[in-house]
Structure 1
Amino acid sequence: MKINKINTSLLPLSVKSLTKALICGTLMMGMAGCEDDLLLEPENNITQNSFYTTELQISQALSGVYSAMVNASSRGGYDVNFYLLASEVRSNNFNAISQNGNRDYYAINRFQDTSSTDEIEILWEDAYQQISYANMLLSRIDAVPFADPAVKEQYRSEARFLRAYAYFELMRTFGKVPLIDKPVSPEEAAKIPRTDLATLYNFITSEIEASVAGLKNVYDAANKGRITKSAAHAMLGRIYLTGSGYPLNNGSYAEKAKEHLFAVIQGEGQFITFAPTYADLFKSANDNKYHIFEIQHISGGLSQGSYLPSYVSPNFGTADPYYNAQGSLFSSAELGVSQSLINTFEPGDLRLPLTVRTSFIAQNGQPDNANFFVKFREKGMVLTNRYDWPINFPIIRYADVLLMYAEILNNQGNTSAAVPYLNRIRQRAGLAPVPASISVSDFTTALRKERRVEFAGEGVYWHDLVRWNTGVTVINQAAAQLNYNYTITTNDYLYQIPLSQIQVAGYDQNP
């Protein structure tokens, strides 16, 4: 099965209908909206008992677990919902100027979102959809005969990883969330309470650690994009480093993060490739070449493309080399890259023009000054619609592994060992190295700035602010400088549980 560009058509229509019914019951997405689906007889008399019975069907079901991350029916996908709206837009990397159309991104950027904010509810639903797909597969795979037991274990490991990964994103976004690790009825789902953070961390890390042995280091061309051992180690590094910071502040997690990150670094040259230039990282021709874990996209009107570039860029005029005939949500008066982010780039940083542009030629042929991301936008790309961009979205890049590892070394007082990792990233960006004699404090400042510009637009910075617990200071200072009439507290690090879930399951909104 080719995974490098996952296609949901691998799931038969009858199974899609069945799975939708199962999801509705499992995810507490509102009884009324799911009632009819639960009563449907699946087409061709395929039932949940008869579908998950062959190796091919398990393979198809696993494609569905992966595809849950991808844009479907204009809902955005994980790259738009988790990494753009809930993360990047939340930070001071973006600046929402006007409330045109009462857009959700304005509310998110200005900390005016509520339990009824649509985009946040979509995020919750899509993550639990992925969890539901994985739960069903994992509940059935043991009874299915496989020609090769190693393939069976690989599929199981991929599903366990993806389920744990979805829970990690939910936990970072909402804090305590209900832990559902098997198919359940609507009645059972509505009775499952929110789970405390320590239990969630234990479940997530144990699931991914258990998956490592069954995963491969590399895959052939037809299977590029599957979860690798390096992806599992990198994700564990991110999860443990997150848990070592705010709010859990589990000091023992830092050493575990260090071990897993070093396991990735040891594979460079064999399993991991450091991109020679920053531009190489953001070309669709290089998908599944430099990133460790990425969301798979393909253009051609298959509903598997990315929506993110059109979400954050203008509808250019024909004179602009980045022209896209399809429209976008962007206007220079709505949502743009903050001047604060642009000012963070050092003079001569090669990443700046590859990340942000500050003007474009409008459709009327006149220049329009606006700051916007171009990182995932490719020149001359012809699309079927604005949801059709082909470039994959990086969930974890190798540069992130290097910088997380350097951060831990520095925090442990071994700054001299951390310096080469930071300088490697700076050298690629065309910047002077930091001195080997740099202090722990100055290195911390340099590394945090480096992370902001290196991963701008990728949904990393907001979560950094949270785990460092600097978000309150940074956001309030930015709001004051822009004369915005709001301040935040640590309670604003998390989003409110969607109202639909509160109505069905009675969750409280306590962090």
Structure 2
Amino acid sequence: MKKISLYISFMLVAGLLSCEDKLEQAPLSDASSANFYRNAADFQQAVNGIYAQLRRYPDRTFDLSETRSDNVYGSSSTGVREWDPVNDFATTLENNTLVAEAWNNNFNGIMRANTVLDRINAAAVPEEPLRNRLEGEARFLRAFYYFDLVRWFGGVPLYQTVVSPAEALNIPRSSVEEVYALIMADLNKAITLLPGTYSAADRGRATNWAAKALMARVHLTRSGPTYGIKGPGLNVNEYSQALTLLNDIINNGPFSWVSNYASIFSYTNENNPDIVFDIQFRKGGLGLGTTLPGYMGPPAYFNAIPGIPSGQSGVEMREISTDLLTAYKPGDVRKAFTIQSGFRDVNGNIETRSFYRKFLDERDPGLDRTDWPINFPVIRYTDVLLMKAEAILKSGSGGSQQDVDVIVNRVRARAGLQPITGVTLNMLLEERRLEFAGEGHRWHDLVRFGRVIEVMNTWLPKEDELNRMAESINPNFVIYPIPFTQLTVREGLYEQNPGY
């Protein structure tokens, strides 16, 4: 039984959810907040509320990473869906609701984490192991939200305590380096405070292994190219630091290889040994489930399946790119599991386009389109292994070519493919694409590997059958613009990212 999903239900009942389309740095009510944080149970519920802000994360990775990348051709039939400008590389994205959601949602999570960190103390939570764990979770999640922000926007305002709206008006954007400093300080502290495992009742909370894996990803991202912009890559060569963390997870962590690819994502096999950190969902109404499986699929598909509740899907198909479809080799079991390649609608018409089905199980649809009961993997053990291969290839040390080949061939064998030798960075990037399709890694991988401009400028003219996307992109498109609503809060407080 997945207790972690109660984070969301608690927030609905307790009324601590702040508005999703508005950044509220100050507590909702100073008096009510002061009265609320009185004992350990209050702080546990408050930490649950920080997790609750992860609810939109799976959709966001689909909108801003998969749809932005060469995995998805997301031009809608009318060209006016909110994801169209993301897909098309429009320069007007400062007004886009999906971009604004990424900013607001993450900062609301940061505000919740700051509220806990500001108030937690020995008087309210006398049991030191619990107090340490709660602080560790808050620090892990604050780092998580800031890492999401720095990858999307570059430098952002740093809030290390709860501030009032008036105080927030005087806090400018910090540099990328300063944001990373807070992320890494929080993760280092979380590693010392968090336990390695939890009982079944608390399964799904961040562990010290999750903090180490996220820190390794931070090191790899920081080590990526700068592209001449103020984005997530700093070219700092921290591959040895990443390797140390990844080897620790591999050698000492509680994770292990799952031999069947489909079982990693099975509704009946959640929290399996491949999961290092995921976002927990369950069906039952009240927003406990995830929207992602239906969000990825078109209404016509779901309407043709008996037993699927009406309105179970998103508004329109975002089709899988031809380039991704043809990237899978014959016999690769991941393709059929990950992608629904066409279907027949309720009227018997044949749809030839494809969409992601990786998180979809038609046998267990939940009550409505917001209620799919499948967890979303953020960091997998397979990812830890492939990040190790990346660090070895990037650094040229800490391991051998044979080590890299062994890792990649283990992934390929599970997919039903023959082994290869002499794996290069480009080959590794392609293997990551096929392994993690639909999981929101693709855009970040392209950026981190230094290939995003080359790959996308080759892909755009080939795939854009409706002739809506930009003819080419430049490094400014590595990150998104600061939302217009933030630019107008106080004139001159934030400077817009170049190119928008």
TM-score by length of 1: 0.89
What is the Cα deviation at residue 303 of structure 1? 0.4
For 1:6, the equivalent position in structure 2 comes to 6
Distance 1:282 1:25, change over 3 A: closer
Q: Which amino acid aligns with 1:26?
A: Q
Please say if residues 294 and 395 of structure 1, whose CA atoms lie closer than 8 Å, have aligned partners that are also in contact. yes
For 1:194, the equivalent position in structure 2 comes to 173
- State the Cα RMSD in Å: 2.3
What is the Cα deviation at residue 98 of structure 1? 3.4
Q: CA-to-partner distance for each residue in 1:1-34, whole Å, 9 max, x for gaps? A: 97432333434856527x669x84418xxxxxxx
Q: How far apart in 2 are the matches of 1:191 and 1:90?
A: 33
After TM superposition, where is structure 1 displaced by more than 4 Å over at least 4 residues in a row? 11-15, 317-324
One of 165, 178, 186 as aligned partner of 2:157: 178
What is the Cα deviation at residue 137 of structure 1? 0.5
Give the alignment of 1:430-469 within 5 angstroms: 430-435=416-421, 438=422, 442-469=423-450
Give the alignment of 1:141-220 within 5 angstroms: 141-220=120-199
Q: Which amino acid aligns with 1:427?
A: A
Q: Which segment is superposed worse, 1-10 or 168-177? A: 1-10
Q: How far apart in 2 are the matches of 1:303 and 1:241?
A: 34
Q: CA-to-partner distance for each residue in 1:430-470, whole Å, 9 max, x for gaps? A: 111112xx2xxx52222111000000011101101111221
For 1:65, the equivalent position in structure 2 comes to 50
Q: CA-to-partner distance for each residue in 1:156-202, whole Å, 9 max, x for gaps? A: 00100000110000000001110101000111111111111111111
Q: How far apart in 2 are the matches of 1:319 and 1:476?
A: 37
For 2:376, the equivalent position in structure 1 comes to 393
For 2:230, the equivalent position in structure 1 comes to none
Q: Which amino acid aligns with 1:139?
A: D
Q: How far apart in 2 are the matches of 1:79 and 1:385?
A: 17
For 2:342, the equivalent position in structure 1 comes to 359
How many percent of aligned residue pairs carry the same amino acid?
A: 34
For 2:408, the equivalent position in structure 1 comes to 422
Distance 1:144 1:337, change over 3 A: farther
One of 490, 495, 498 as aligned partner of 2:480: 495
Distance 1:55 1:503, change over 3 A: same
Distance 1:214 1:317, change over 3 A: closer
For 2:262, the equivalent position in structure 1 comes to 279
Matched positions, count = 479
For 1:54, the equivalent position in structure 2 comes to 39
Distance 1:99 1:494, change over 3 A: farther
Q: How far apart in 2 are the matches of 1:477 and 1:322?
A: 43
For 1:261, the equivalent position in structure 2 comes to 246
1:98 aligns with 2:71: no
For 1:306, the equivalent position in structure 2 comes to 290
Q: How far apart in 2 are the matches of 1:301 and 1:124?
A: 27
For 1:34, the equivalent position in structure 2 comes to none
Distance 1:320 1:16, change over 3 A: closer
Q: How far apart in 1 are the matches of 2:478 and 2:448?
A: 10
What is the Cα deviation at residue 231 of structure 1? 0.5
What is the Cα deviation at residue 325 of structure 1? 3.7
For 1:374, the equivalent position in structure 2 comes to 357
Q: How far apart in 2 are the matches of 1:359 and 1:266?
A: 42
Please say if residues 282 and 375 of structure 1, whose CA atoms lie closer than 8 Å, have aligned partners that are also in contact. yes
For structure 1, the residue ranges without an aligned partner over 5 or more in a row are 28-36, 71-76
Q: CA-to-partner distance for each residue in 1:122-146, whole Å, 9 max, x for gaps? A: 1211111110000000000025433
One of 111, 128, 151 as aligned partner of 2:89: 111
Secondary structure of the residue aligned to 1:178 is coil
Please say if residues 309 and 368 of structure 2, whose CA atoms lie closer than 8 Å, have aligned partners that are also in contact. no
Distance 1:103 1:20, change over 3 A: closer
Q: How far apart in 2 are the matches of 1:12 and 1:249?
A: 40
For structure 2, the residue ranges without an aligned partner over 5 or more in a row are 227-232
One of 424, 442, 456 as aligned partner of 1:475: 456
For 1:33, the equivalent position in structure 2 comes to none
Q: Which amino acid aligns with 1:444?
A: L
For 1:30, the equivalent position in structure 2 comes to none
One of 223, 227, 232 as aligned partner of 2:211: 232
Q: How far apart in 2 are the matches of 1:397 and 1:417?
A: 19
Please say if residues 343 and 352 of structure 2, whose CA atoms lie closer than 8 Å, have aligned partners that are also in contact. yes
What is the Cα deviation at residue 412 of structure 1? 3.0
Secondary structure of the residue aligned to 1:478 is helix
What is the Cα deviation at residue 97 of structure 1? 3.5
Give the alignment of 1:17-56 within 5 angstroms: 24-26=23-25, 47-56=32-41
1:85 aligns with 2:63: yes
What is the Cα deviation at residue 509 of structure 1? 1.2
For 1:137, the equivalent position in structure 2 comes to 116
Secondary structure of the residue aligned to 1:60 is helix
Distance 1:231 1:105, change over 3 A: same
For 2:318, the equivalent position in structure 1 comes to 335
Secondary structure of the residue aligned to 2:16 is helix
1:409 aligns with 2:408: no
What is the Cα deviation at residue 101 of structure 1? 6.1
Please say if residues 350 and 430 of structure 1, whose CA atoms lie closer than 8 Å, have aligned partners that are also in contact. yes
TM-score by length of 2: 0.90
Secondary structure of the residue aligned to 1:358 is strand
Q: Which amino acid aligns with 2:81?
A: R
1:294 aligns with 2:281: no
Q: How far apart in 2 are the matches of 1:482 and 1:314?
A: 20
Q: How far apart in 2 are the matches of 1:482 and 1:68?
A: 35
Q: How far apart in 2 are the matches of 1:345 and 1:11?
A: 42
